[in-house]
Amino acid sequence: MTRTFIIIGGGIGGLSAAIRLAAQGHQVTIIEQNEAVGGKMSEISAGGFRWDTGPSVITMRPVFDELFQCAGKELRDYLTLLPVDPLTRYFWDDGAQLDASRMPHIMLQRLREFAGDEDAQGYMRYLQYAKRIHDITGSVFIYNDPPTVWRVARTPLKDIPAVDPLRTMSEAIESFVISPKLRQMLERFATYVGASPFSAPATLNVIAHVELSGGVWYPQGGTYSIARALEKLARELGIKIITGCHADEITVESHKVTGVRAGGMFFPADAVIANVDVATVYERLLPQSAFNPRRLGRLADAELSSSGFVLLLGVEGTHDQLTHHNILFSADYPREFADIFERGIPPDDPTIYIAITSKTDTSHAPEGCENWFVMVNAPAANDRFDWGLQGDAYRSHILEMLARRGLDIRSKIKVEKQLTPLDFEARTGARHGAIYGLSSNNRLNALRRPHNRAPDIRGLYFAGGTTHPGGGVPMVILSGKVAAKLALEGLEDG
């Protein structure tokens, strides 16, 4: 039987769910408030420069292959993923530098020269440890339905110590390597879920395995090429995509979804998948009578992940000391995360990430110029820092810090745009601009992350970074897979 689905939000999670439903012959409509699909994945062009404004590090290539295969298509016919080497170039304030490679023999030699043989061997043991976590937890926390206490409890007792749930990421890393610099490089992976390595459970060291062993990929044309590829496939499958249309309400009768009101129209639906921050759905899209207000209270009171402050810079000149992905580490990592999560202010000494896609795609900047995407981690928007009043001063602070590290580009900026947590909230519906939704700074939060199925409203499902299995492009693709599966199962069950 053909069913009718409405997807609110044309982000990557929503597109993933829509493709899977349409591939099985169902009628699907996507309602997107922006003028283009992609959600947090978007792009800006100005003055001959082009930037991706969302995610820039792409991992877990098999997840992309599987999505296209479920529709009977091949990824290579829609998107070209190029391997990135080095994965990242790391810089420290004393002038030390390290290029990360996914090739074990290359990385081993570089680490011997960088930190000595003991730490080089410790790094290799760390990768084995992270792979072991992935092998044990992948089926529970990543690739299938949301975890339950029962499914977690079924983990063989002999495997539980390997999952390492009681230590923090930082504590686990310290057991493998001595070099503070190498520790910092591995601790950085907590930021991939908007967390602090000094609070997040050691289980999240699995993230390092995904990148350091699986590699990093660059979508030819820019990260937004992923959104274009998914949109093309969606339209080929007959999915109706309505952009520039703001969803006003998910209609509910007798605790069951009936459709969506958007743009002055009513769209009836057998089920609705919201590719929007789960808290935002309960706060703005559902009638208050449809659910227990304590649920919204729990969502609103939960600790949020970090957000970010971004400078999109069109820079005159080229900088051979930089590569595609670059990290300039802060001198005091614990203080940086204390600023974000304890004091709720942008770090005074932040780690600075610089992505320059024109290193790979020369068309992204005029000849002799570069397109810099500069990002620092920042707290979700709160009343302790006013981005409207203080954002420009913080921008100047970041540029001053770059100058101190030998990258004084202040007189070379030809084009500039800023993105703050307030912009992320306005553009994507992310609550307070928290890019990954619920914080991962608690070992139980993997079980507390909102389920892909609404517990109190039949026919309502969730996809995106704020629901299972979490943030990051491959993860939200998987969230769409889970949401589509649960939605079909729910209709079969009546």
Rounded to the nearest 5°, which phi and psi values hold at 369?
Answer: -130, 170
The mean per-residue pLDDT over the stretch 216-241 comes to 98
Number of neighbouring beta carbons within 10 Å of residue 45? 11
Give me the pLDDT at residue 447, please. Answer: 58
Q: Has residue 47 been placed in a domain?
A: no
Number of neighbouring beta carbons within 10 Å of residue 2? 8
* Whether residues 390 and 404 fall in one domain: yes
Enclosing domain of residue 316: 307-378+382-419
The mean per-residue pLDDT over the stretch 196-222 comes to 95
Hey, which residues does 377 pair with through a beta bridge? 308
Q: Has residue 46 been placed in a domain?
A: no
Give me the pLDDT at residue 195, please. Answer: 95
Q: Has residue 146 been placed in a domain?
A: yes
* Whether residues 109 and 133 fall in one domain: yes
Per-residue pLDDT for 354 more than 90? yes
Hey, which residues does 241 pair with through a beta bridge? 30
132 with 162: CB under 8 angstroms?
Answer: yes
The CA distance from 353 to 356, in Å, is: 10
* Whether residues 337 and 408 fall in one domain: yes
* Whether residues 291 and 353 fall in one domain: no
The mean per-residue pLDDT over the stretch 82-100 comes to 97
* Whether residues 343 and 250 fall in one domain: no
Mean pLDDT for the chain overall: 93
86 with 57: CB under 8 angstroms?
Answer: no
Query: Of 181, 196, 215, which residue is a domain's last?
Result: 215
Q: Has residue 448 been placed in a domain?
A: yes
Give me the pLDDT at residue 1, please. Answer: 87
* Whether residues 280 and 227 fall in one domain: yes
The mean per-residue pLDDT over the stretch 293-307 comes to 87
CATH number for the domain that contains residue 282? 3.50.50.60
Per-residue pLDDT for 33 more than 80? yes
CATH number for the domain that contains residue 180? 1.10.405
pLDDT tens digit sequence for 129-183: 999 999 988 876 677 877 665 555 566 656 666 678 889 999 999 999 999 999 9
For residue 51, give every residue at least 6 positions away whose Cβ sits within 8 Å of its Cβ, in sequence order, or none: 43, 44, 45, 312, 357, 364, 371, 373, 417
332 with 271: CB under 8 angstroms?
Answer: no
Q: Has residue 424 been placed in a domain?
A: no
Q: Can you give the length of the chain in residues? A: 494
The CA distance from 128 to 147, in Å, is: 24
Give me the pLDDT at residue 485, please. Answer: 97
The mean per-residue pLDDT over the stretch 395-403 comes to 98
Query: Of 215, 246, 261, which residue is a domain's last?
Result: 215
Q: Has residue 58 been placed in a domain?
A: no
* Whether residues 463 and 401 fall in one domain: no
CA distances from 51 to 80, 254, 313 (A): 18, 46, 9
Number of neighbouring beta carbons within 10 Å of residue 161? 9
* Whether residues 205 and 108 fall in one domain: yes
* Whether residues 119 and 184 fall in one domain: yes
The mean per-residue pLDDT over the stretch 345-354 comes to 98
pLDDT tens digit sequence for 274-288: 999 999 999 999 998
CA distances from 96 to 41, 108, 164 (A): 33, 17, 31
The CA distance from 59 to 64, in Å, is: 9
Per-residue pLDDT for 258 more than 90? yes
Amino acid at residue number 344: G
Per-residue pLDDT for 357 more than 70? yes
Query: Of 215, 250, 270, which residue is a domain's last?
Result: 215
* Whether residues 209 and 111 fall in one domain: yes
Per-residue pLDDT for 437 more than 60? yes
Q: Has residue 154 been placed in a domain?
A: yes
Give me the pLDDT at residue 95, please. Answer: 96
Distance of CA 258 to the CA centre of its chain: 31
Q: Has residue 428 been placed in a domain?
A: no
Give me the pLDDT at residue 155, please. Answer: 63
The mean per-residue pLDDT over the stretch 354-381 comes to 98
Give me the pLDDT at residue 430, please. Answer: 87
Per-residue pLDDT for 302 more than 70? yes
466 with 483: CB under 8 angstroms?
Answer: no
Instruction: State what percent of residues in the chain have pLDDT above 70.
Output: 95
Q: State how many domains the chain has.
A: 3
Give me the pLDDT at residue 427, please. Answer: 86
**pLDDT tier for residue 243 given thresholds of 50, 70 and 90:** very high
CA distances from 253 to 261, 428, 453, 459 (A): 14, 27, 17, 11
* Whether residues 122 and 150 fall in one domain: yes
The mean per-residue pLDDT over the stretch 330-359 comes to 98
pLDDT tens digit sequence for 439-459: 888 766 655 788 999 999 999
* Whether residues 196 and 226 fall in one domain: no
